[in-house]
Chains A and B, each alone.
Chain A
């Protein structure tokens, strides 16, 4: 006779406990971010928070690719730039409305990234890194060395890819017309919604069967494939999803700053993303967000030091990797486990001494 009582396994209880904490943290963060513009008057700080949200989105997507799926891609900024450049070019050359251009750019970026994923299918580990690095560098070189005039813009020569100057004044998020001098708060609201959307989707992907497939392929590809995980499908899905959100963020970035240039493809920008993910903790959903908070704060402090900023950033990355391989959140988890073990042994001692 089968029992009709459902035994909830410890794993199930644990999962719902973590998702409960995640929900509380998410609501708290959303609340803080929502009321922040009401408490801060400085346009500079609001601008920095917007920038931080962009970095957090990029880092979260890179974490999805690297931390959860184990694919060490170095083309993240190239994907971001692709989204931004596609938006700028659609607006400049074809005069599309901004929202349509951003959506099309995101889809196009996802498509290109799936192609990159196809090229990387037979590769493992560092070969993927090298291929993606080469693609990113080639894109940078092709843009910066573009010198032949494609069109004339107000008697100034503009190259097809924008060249070293980039694109500017191709449209914005429409907040200036709506709110006039309060347009920054409108942009802030849009970027906050984008941040919530991307993070929410990423969270659901991570905690879905697809996310489990990514983690299985990262931990032990042979075993995962033997158990029926479709590596082809999973790899293309993770490339596609992470690139869609990154490209979307790139489009909104271009629209917010009303300019895009080859400087976002620079190595120092990507260094910042690496630093964020490494310091926060890879393979952990909150890692990139924690990392963004810490590094934006550190960046503000190091701004006083001016020229030593990049040096400090490089040292932070190296030191974090050597001393905190699982990031800050990993260290916190280690501390929790150590504390839990100490409590357990303490309780055992107490109970055994009572006998």
Chain B
């Protein structure tokens, strides 16, 4: 009984940490820019493959693979800003959200397909991982799970510090609250958007590296975590970062329990049922603020 509880707890914590990282980047972008980044999953995948390429094909040490994942994600974030967000903001299209959604869907397909063409479709093993287990009494905890949880907690701490205690973080928060007011106060909104996208991309890259170390590298690696991250963002409410992280861990635990009790295929449909219930009961998420729209 104890070991069932332990393994569910471990699985829930590990996947919760990974989903929390994915959700963090998504929620940041959504909250500050009102943009649903459907290319987030592709950035995740790219991060994992970048780490693979750096370590396997260039023969550089493990930690550099980590840095490569970070860099690749940030690069894609910057490209996303230059090629999609900036032109759409300038053109002042009727519906920015849906236009950006469709453009990022297209970019995600293109990115995923280029990864497929470059590395091939068969699953690969992520080299940037640590093997071995730690024995706590009867149970074994894989080192990699501890690494994942540790890295996720560190990154969440860094994000919280940057947002609360740095000038750039204040600019991001100001832009989230009211874009026009921030612009009037002299905050370079374009640059803030670029920073947010690059930061979110970097988070996605690292998350991809971690996810692929637990499972495997494949071109469709990022689709599932991205969808679950969306669900967690929605359940928590738009732009609420601590709420999103909390929702990520809570839903990961629920998923682990459901998968143990009912079987692997019911995890995702149960999450879906939960999100439908939450959205019907509270249309702006559990902790989200109601959006005031001027008509």
Hey, which bits of chain A sit against chain B, CB under 8 A? Answer: 66, 72, 119, 122-127, 129-131, 133-135, 137-138, 141-142, 145-146, 220-223, 267-268, 271, 274-275, 278, 307-308, 310-311, 313-323, 325
Contact = CB atoms under 8 A, between A and B. Distances in A.
B109 A268 contact: yes
Q: Identify the interface centre among B84, B103, B111: most chain A CB within 10 Å of its CB.
A: B103
B109 A131 contact: no
Given A122-B279, A131-B279, A321-B99, A271 B105 contact: yes
Contacts of B93: 325
B189 interface: no
Interface string B93-135: 1100111011111111111111011000000000000000000
A321 B113 contact: no
B274 to A, nearest CB: 10
Given A130-B234, A134-B231, A322 B103 contact: yes
A126 B275 contact: no
Contact of B295 (A221, A275, A316): A221
B178 to A, nearest CB: 19
Contacts of B257: none
Interface string B223-235: 1000100110010
A16 to B, nearest CB: 27
3 tightest Cβ-Cβ pairs between the two chains A and B: A317-B106, A314-B109, A314-B110
Contacts of A314: 105-113
20 contacts: A122-B283, A129-B36, A130-B230, A131-B276, A134-B272, A134-B276, A138-B269, A271-B105, A308-B113, A308-B117, A310-B113, A311-B110, A311-B117, A314-B109, A317-B105, A318-B84, A321-B88, A322-B83, A322-B84, A322-B88
B264 interface: yes
A315 B106 contact: yes
A207 to B, nearest CB: 22
Contacts of A125: 97-98
A316 B98 CA distance: 16
A308 B91 CA distance: 30
A250 B223 CA distance: 26
Nearest to A313: B109
A222 B293 CA distance: 10
B190 interface: no
Given A137-B227, A321-B103, A322-B88, A72 B279 contact: no
Nearest to A147: B265
A318 B107 contact: yes
A145 B102 CA distance: 28
Nearest to A322: B87
A43 B272 CA distance: 43
Interface of B: 36, 83-84, 87-88, 91, 93-94, 97-99, 101-114, 116-117, 223, 227, 230-231, 234, 264-265, 268-269, 272, 275-276, 279-280, 283, 293, 295
B268 A141 contact: yes
Contacts of B99: 321, 325
Contacts of A137: 227, 268, 272
B234 A127 contact: yes
B231 A220 contact: no
Contacts of A72: 98, 101
A311 B113 contact: yes
Contacts of A220: 295
A142 B262 CA distance: 13
Nearest to A315: B110
Nearest to B98: A72
Contact of A138 (B36, B117, B268, B283): B268
Task: Name the residue among A221, A271, A311 with the largest chain B CB count within 10 angstroms.
Answer: A311
A316 B280 contact: no
A226 to B, nearest CB: 9
B117 to A, nearest CB: 6
A72 B38 CA distance: 14
Given A134-B227, A142-B265, A274 B102 contact: yes
Nearest to A325: B93
Contact of A127 (B94, B114, B117, B283): B283
Contacts of A278: 102
A126 B31 CA distance: 13
B110 to A, nearest CB: 3
B113 A222 contact: no
